[in-house]
Amino acid sequence: MEGILEYLLMIPDGKVVTYKQIAEYLGNPGYARLVGNYLHVNPDPDRYPCFKVVNHQGRLATNFGFGGAAEQKRRLEKDGVEVSSEFRVDLEKYQWKENRR
């Protein structure tokens, strides 16, 4: 799953990606849940910004493993991403569309 961590480093400031987007990039589109489980035990969340990953609707992780949704919201806003009071990000505005492999 090292590819997941490498992918996190590519996400620009002020942008987010989805779990499915990471899984697709790695060639396994059905593994979005696996990506989420792996990010929940991120070995170094300060180096690998898993806070930049949201679900396919732009919702923050209710069980964000490093301080809950409020902490994920704080980190996203510090990074330049607006988060609604419903803990949601506008994917039209903030989703990063990387170049595919």
Annotation marks residue 50 as catalytic:
yes
Q: Would you say 51 and 14 are in contact if contact means Cβ atoms under 8 Å apart?
A: no
Query: How far apart are the C-alpha atoms of 85 and 70, rounded to whole Å?
Result: 10
The residue with tokens 């090292």 is 2
CA dihedral (9, 10, 14, 17) in degrees, to 10, reads: -100
Q: Which of 11, 35, 50, 53 is catalytic?
A: 50
Residues known to be catalytic:
50
